[in-house]
Structure formats: structure tokens, C-alpha cells
Amino acid sequence: MTTITEQQTQTQLNMFNRLGTFNHEQIVFCQDEATGLKALIAIHNTVLGPGLGGTRLWMYDNEESAINDVMRLSRGMTYKASLAGLNLGGAKAVIIGDNKIHKTEALMRKFGRFVENLHGKYITAEDVGTTTKDMEYIKMETDHVVGLPESMGGGGDPSPVTSFGVYMGIKASAKHVFGNDSLAGKSVSVQGIGKVGGHLIEYLHKEGAKIYISDINDEVLSKYAKDFGCIVVPKEDIIGLDVDIFAPCALGAVLNTENIEKLKASIVCGAANNQLADETIHGPMLMQKGIAYAPDYLVNAGGLINVYSEHIGYNREIAYGSAEKIYDTLMAIYKKAAADNTYTQKAANELAEKRIHDMMLVGSTY
């Protein structure tokens, strides 16, 4: 039998310090030699409800990167669920491995067993590196999984609801900046015409917006130019385009010190996660330039809203109804940011934290 060395005890102490950095409740290390499973489930905060967040399967360079990622992502879920007004906490899981080599039915089902052992404190879903099929395997071991296909009573692809939420965000931003939420005649540039960007274009087109698009996939660009009259622009020109609204719907960290200087849009509102390379630098920078920035984690919450709806018994109308509320929440954020003379991302974070704090008080009398 091996003994616990001083170094191991020190590592444990460091882990507790790290849990304290973002005030995480729990991190579960899952290890199974037979299936090769190495996974981490981080439960950040369950004041509002069970922690819901996808399972990412990724070949991390080292364990340190996996721990950092799962902690950062699970905390982000707490804020997203709170601001979306859902009775959900924040959590996330990562499985360390190569999608093409390590992912098997046995591995996913074993992971499902670990999820089951948390008795509903953590609810999993699809994320980068996992698919609806993987959720079906997990479902064989636990009911604490969402993002199942419609044929299994799930909500199917969440992207259309995400697009609708972004559309609501764009309309609220137009109301805030132009005094009117009609997008007729407004120019909008959309970066990334994937699952979310594509549906968003349909909404924008219906309202008579003038749409500029960029993507790395030429086929998709030709299709949207033909079907919706979008104007294709080179991908390096999309951020600095002279338009009313810029909608980043491709990658994270698209806005940095250099390209914010070039931004001509009055509004930035899109689906991409973590659009600001550094929110404490680029949030204030956008504010100083007088650009209305719609916090990404609010306007792209439609996907989470859709899976939450699945958790409580899927109803498409209710999911869209909740996503519609993104409009009012964003108006409240613009109002708060102006009143506090601060940037919108900070105002959003404060509203999310306030809701968690207030609901803790509700719990205190039960």
C-alpha cells in the first residue's frame, strides 16, 4: 500500500485553494482504467438549482489545462443561467482524450455512471467533442442528461433558439441606440454563417436588414448570397465594416485592442462565446467608443434555455418565450450600465450575482 506523501498533501491543499478562487462547490475527479476514462466534473454554484453544463471531450496538453478549463467554463454557466432567469446552477465537465481515438460507448456510459452518482446535482449535455449520440449513451446510465434528439423526447438542435435570442438582443440594442427596434434598412454584418448565424440571417432578412457576411466556407457564403441577397465580404474586412450592427457568430476572443479601434458599428451583438479577448480591458474600451455591447453570455443563452426546457419537460413555445425575455434583460443591462457609468459586461455580471444573492435569502427560511 502506498502512503500519502507530504507532496500529495500539499497538492490537496492547493486544490482547495483553487476551488476557493472562483468559489467552486465541488470538483469530481472521475477515473476508470478499464474504459480509459479521465474526466472532471466541476460544480460551481447550485444556489439557483442543479448545475447544468455540457461535457467537453478534448485532448488537453496537460491536466492543469483541463482543470483550468472546467473551472472557468463551469463558473461561466452559473452567470449565464442566472442572467437568463433559469432555476439552474453552473457546472461543466471535461473528458480528457482524443475524440477519434478514445471515445467509445463504454467510456461515455462509464462517464454517465459518474454523473448518476451525483444524484442530479449535475446535469450534463453536449459540448465541443461530444454529440447527441454520446448523450444517448449517457442516458443509458442516468436521467441527468439533456440535449437528446427529439425522437427521445429531447429538444433537438438548440441553435434555432440561440439564433432567436441573438435576434432579440439585436432588436433590444437597436431600440437602445436608435430609439426604435425595427431593423428595416439597418446594415448588419454577420461573422460566421454556421448553425446560429444561418438562422439569424433568416430573421434579419425577414425584417428587411441589409446583410453583410463572412465565413471561411465559400459554399455557405454563395448559398446565403443567393437565397437571402447577402453581400459577401472578405473575412479580414468584416470587423471594420461601416455598418450599424456587427454580429460575431464564429469564434471567441474576436474583439481586441487593435480591431476595436477599427470598429465602425454602433452595436456589437452576436452568438460567439467570450467575444472580448479581455473583458476588463475591452468592455471599457467599447464603452468609451460609444459602442453598445450586448454581453455574449446573455444573448446566446437560447441554447441553455432550450435544454433547461427539456429538463422540466420540453415545450418549444415555452423555450422561445423564455428566449424572448433576453430583450427585456438586455434593456435592463443597458439601463444599469448607463446609471452606474460602467460597461455592459460588468453590469450583466452584477445582475447575475444579485439574483444568486437574492435567491440565497429565499432559501434561508426553508
Site for ligand NAD contains 195 (CB under 6 A)? yes
Stretch that binds ligand NAD, among 54-62, 157-165, 204-212, 348-356 (CB under 6 A): 157-165
Cell numbers given for 187:
446594415
Site for ligand NAD contains 272 (CB under 6 A)? yes
Site for ligand NAD contains 249 (CB under 6 A)? yes
Per CB under 6 A, the list member of 45, 74, 82, 159 interacting with ligand NAD is 159
Site for ligand NAD in 297-356 (CB under 6 A): 300, 303
Q: Return the HEC string of 26-78.
A: EEEEEEECCCCEEEEEEEEECCCCCEEEEEEEECCCCHHHHHHHHHHHHHHHH
- DSSP-derived 3-state class of residue 92: strand
In sequence order, what are the beta bridge partners of 232? Answer: 213
Q: What values do phi and psi take at 228, rounded to 5?
A: -125, 10
Cell numbers given for 247:
454580429
Site for ligand NAD contains 240 (CB under 6 A)? no
Closest residue to ligand NAD: CB criterion: 194
Site for ligand NAD contains 55 (CB under 6 A)? no
92 is catalytic: yes
Site for ligand NAD contains 88 (CB under 6 A)? no
Nearer to ligand NAD (CB atom), residue 26 or residue 132: 132
Per CB under 6 A, the list member of 91, 108, 250, 307 interacting with ligand NAD is 250
Nearer to ligand NAD (CB atom), residue 105 or residue 237: 237
Burial class (CB in 10 A: 0-12, 13-18, 19+), 5: exposed
- Tell me the site size for ligand NAD, rule CB under 6 A: 25
DSSP 136-148: HHHHTT-S-B---
Q: Cα–Cα distances in Å, from 141 out to 37, 134, 172, 314?
A: 15, 12, 42, 21
Nearer to ligand NAD (CB atom), residue 156 or residue 192: 192
Which residue type occupies 119? H
Nearer to ligand NAD (CB atom), residue 215 or residue 244: 215
Site for ligand NAD contains 294 (CB under 6 A)? no
Per CB under 6 A, the list member of 192, 292, 323, 334 interacting with ligand NAD is 192
Stretch that binds ligand NAD, among 39-47, 97-105, 133-141, 158-166 (CB under 6 A): 158-166
Of the residues 80, 92, 186, 210, only one is catalytic, namely: 92
Site for ligand NAD contains 72 (CB under 6 A)? no
Closest C-alpha among 91, 338, 273, 78 to residue 330: 338
- Least spacing, CB of residue 317 vs ligand NAD, in Å: 18
Per CB under 6 A, the list member of 235, 264, 325, 336 interacting with ligand NAD is 235
Stretch that binds ligand NAD, among 39-47, 249-257, 276-284, 318-326 (CB under 6 A): 249-257
Helices assigned H by DSSP within the chain: 6-21, 63-83, 99-102, 105-116, 132-139, 159-178, 195-206, 218-228, 257-262, 279-288, 296-299, 302-312, 316-324, 326-340, 344-363
Nearer to ligand NAD (CB atom), residue 128 or residue 281: 128
Our measurement of the distance from residue 133's CA atom to the centroid of its chain's CA atoms, rounded to an integer in Å, reads 21
Query: Distance between CA 192 and CA 198 in Å, rounded?
Result: 8
Stretch that binds ligand NAD, among 186-194, 203-211, 285-293, 357-365 (CB under 6 A): 186-194
Q: Which residues here bind ligand NAD, judged by CB under 6 A?
A: 158-159, 162, 191-197, 214-217, 220, 235, 249-252, 271-273, 300, 303
Question: Which sequence positions are flagged as catalytic?
Answer: 92
